[in-house]
Amino acid sequence: MTAGARLFWDNANRRLTTTATGNFQVGIATAAALAADTTVRAMLARVPASGA
């Protein structure tokens, strides 16, 4: 994940992801994270739906 990437909640796998399809946007990454990392710094915020 890159800093500034939109983050989505993947309820099926109980984790944050950058995949929008089928997930709910919950915020943005505030720092980069490598694929092997198990954590990411994030700012959780109410985000309007796409196109709003």
pLDDT digits (tens, 9 = 90+) for 1-52: 899 999 999 999 999 999 999 998 999 999 999 989 888 999 998 766 655 4
Gyration radius of the chain over CA positions: 11
| CA neighbor of 41 nearest in space, from 20, 16, 22, 21 | 16
**What pLDDT is attached to residue 45?**
85
11 C-beta neighbours (distance < 10 Å), count: 10
Do 15 and 25 contact (CB within 8 A), yes or no? Answer: no
Cβ(32)–Cβ(3) below 8 Å: yes
Cα 49 to chain center, whole Å?
14
